[in-house]
């Protein structure tokens, strides 16, 4: 049987389940190559990133900086008086923007030639899905259903919110407990505190942001505490009760209690595979529910593929985009067919920001015999007049033998913006000598990365 006849026996060449970053990119690219594509999305177009992730989070981070900025302006001669915060304005303006983006995603899909089903799809066979009770066949199926917040099963868990609900609260809480040690927990502690809530960040471990450079973690804890976030490490919530007046009472493992208006759990995200029909069809998943895939994103069923947070490799929007493009090129086009997971830059939009690319000091010392550590810590020029005690940390790790830069880390204003450019340099294989021969832009914080002359250890 010829390939044309073989393809024509299916309703579509590619059926994508999930219209988040990875799914939309894969669908649009494939449709642009003449592939017959359908996409199913049951919740919201744009996925986690656009609706309950990166985009609204960054808008709220911007908002949370203003009170501090107004206060700092006095040192420059600008006096703001009568400043008030209206939560519904921020929330509703955010919703308007997300609705606009939803419409853009819809137009992108439809204009690229994809058929869009705004309904839940489940996998019913190696080449078959069910959408609203309708049976649809496809030569290939792509699972791009993302992740979902995980809340542990404790007494009173029905009273907590996750990162799904936090963006649309009816009223802004005066007292908040954020539980978790990952970047979502640290970011939202900063958002709540910056907007005026009394904020406690509770984490069961010694120190938050596991996996980041140890010195960066310690420095960030010191800076976050300066912003008014009360850090409570080595502790956990045992149970939560709701009083008659709506106040939440958290009981900790040591028996102590604390009242709050909201308790947010940011205790990790799990692959969103429940009820998709994968198990029944024979698609292998690991113990966390993540779809197990090959380097070509193929599952244990050859006609079914998966990308993005649902495979739980690197839970970052640009990684899902890269995976979607690599898969489509492998299946239908030409070009680079794999994703390079080396030297992925990332940022944490806490206050101040963290930007990082490459190895941590701990990883570098494990892998290389001799590592030079360059480090600079200072109070940013802006704060000589603002009065803020915020400090900036910059750090560079260099392989002594080859002079190659192994990792660069920053805690400070606009760290993400600065590290993005440095990530290009590391990807190009920059040595310390290349950084040293680069002229700095003065006066900036970023110039510190090209003026570090002596290793500290």
Integer Cα distance of 453 and 457 in angstroms: 12
Structure tokens of 455?
Answer: 């290793």
Integer Cα distance of 176 and 3 in angstroms: 59
User: If you search the block for the tokens 């006096």, which residue do you land on?
Assistant: 79
Integer Cα distance of 16 and 25 in angstroms: 10
Which residues, listed in sequence order, are joined to residue 15 by a DSSP beta bridge?
Answer: 38, 141
Q: What number of CA atoms fall less than 13 Å from residue 256's CA on the CB side?
A: 5
Beta-carbon neighbour count of residue 10 at 10 Å?
18
Q: What number of CA atoms fall less than 13 Å from residue 121's CA on the CB side?
A: 26
User: If you search the block for the tokens 């963290």, which residue do you land on?
Assistant: 354
Burial of 105 (0-12, 13-18, 19+ CB in 10 A): buried
Is 150 noted as a catalytic residue in this protein? no
Strand order across the beta sheet in which 175-179 lies? 229-232, 198-202, 175-179, 262-265
- Size of the chain, expressed as the number of residues it contains: 457
Q: Are 348 and 187 in contact (CB under 8 A)?
A: yes
Integer Cα distance of 318 and 357 in angstroms: 14
Peptide bond into 443 cis (omega under 30): yes
Strand order across the beta sheet in which 248-252 lies? 237-242, 248-252, 257-260
Q: What number of CA atoms fall less than 13 Å from residue 423's CA on the CB side?
A: 18
Sign of CA dihedral 317, 318, 322, 324: positive
Beta-carbon neighbour count of residue 199 at 10 Å?
26
Q: Which residues are catalytic?
A: 442
């Amino acid at each position: 049987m010829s390939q044309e006849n073989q393809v024509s026996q299916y309703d579509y060449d590619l059926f994508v389940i999930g219209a988040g970053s990875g799914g939309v990119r894969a669908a649009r690219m494939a449709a642009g190559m003449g592939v017959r594509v359908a996409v199913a999305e049951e919740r919201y177009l744009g996925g986690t990133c656009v609706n309950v992730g990166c985009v609204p989070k960054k808008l709220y981070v911007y908002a949370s900086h203003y009170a501090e900025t107004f206060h700092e302006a006095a040192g420059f001669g600008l006096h703001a008086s009568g400043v008030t915060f209206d939560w519904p304005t921020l929330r509703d303006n955010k919703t308007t923007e997300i609705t606009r983006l939803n419409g853009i995603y819809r137009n992108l899909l439809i204009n690229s030639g994809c058929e869009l089903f705004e309904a839940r799809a489940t996998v019913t066979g190696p080449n078959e899905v069910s959408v609203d009770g309708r049976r649809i066949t496809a030569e290939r199926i792509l699972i791009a259903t993302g992740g979902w917040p995980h809340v542990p099963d404790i007494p009173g868990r029905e009273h907590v919110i996750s990162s799904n609900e936090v963006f649309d609260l009816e009223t802004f809480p005066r007292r908040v407990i954020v539980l978790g040690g990952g970047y979502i927990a640290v970011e939202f502690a900063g958002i709540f505190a910056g907007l005026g809530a009394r904020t406690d960040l509770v984490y069961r471990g010694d120190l938050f942001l596991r996996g980041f450079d140890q010195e960066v973690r310690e420095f960030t804890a010191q800076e976050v505490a300066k912003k008014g976030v009360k850090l409570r490490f080595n502790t956990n919530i045992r149970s939560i009760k709701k009083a008659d007046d709506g106040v939440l009472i958290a009981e900790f493992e040591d028996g102590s209690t604390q009242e709050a208006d909201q308790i947010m759990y940011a205790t990790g995200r799990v692959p969103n595979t429940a009820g998709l029909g994968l198990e029944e069809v024979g698609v292998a998943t690991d113990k966390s529910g993540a779809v197990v895939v090959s380097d070509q994103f193929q599952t244990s069923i050859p006609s079914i593929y998966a990308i993005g947070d649902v495979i739980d490799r690197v839970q970052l929007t640009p990684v899902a985009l890269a995976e979607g493009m690599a898969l489509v090129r492998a299946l239908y086009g030409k070009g680079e067919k794999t994703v390079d997971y080396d030297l992925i830059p990332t940022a944490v939009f806490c206050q101040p920001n963290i930007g990082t690319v490459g190895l941590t000091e701990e990883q570098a010392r494990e892998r290389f015999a001799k590592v030079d550590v360059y480090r600079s810590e200072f109070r940013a020029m802006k704060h000589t007049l603002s009065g803020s005690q915020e400090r900036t940390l910059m750090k560079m790790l260099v392989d002594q033998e080859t002079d190659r830069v192994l990792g660069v880390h920053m805690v400070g204003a606009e760290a993400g913006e600065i590290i993005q450019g440095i990530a290009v340099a590391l990807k190009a294989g920059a040595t310390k000598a290349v950084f040293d021969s680069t002229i700095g832009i003065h006066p900036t914080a970023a110039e510190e990365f090209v003026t570090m002359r002596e290793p500290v250890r």
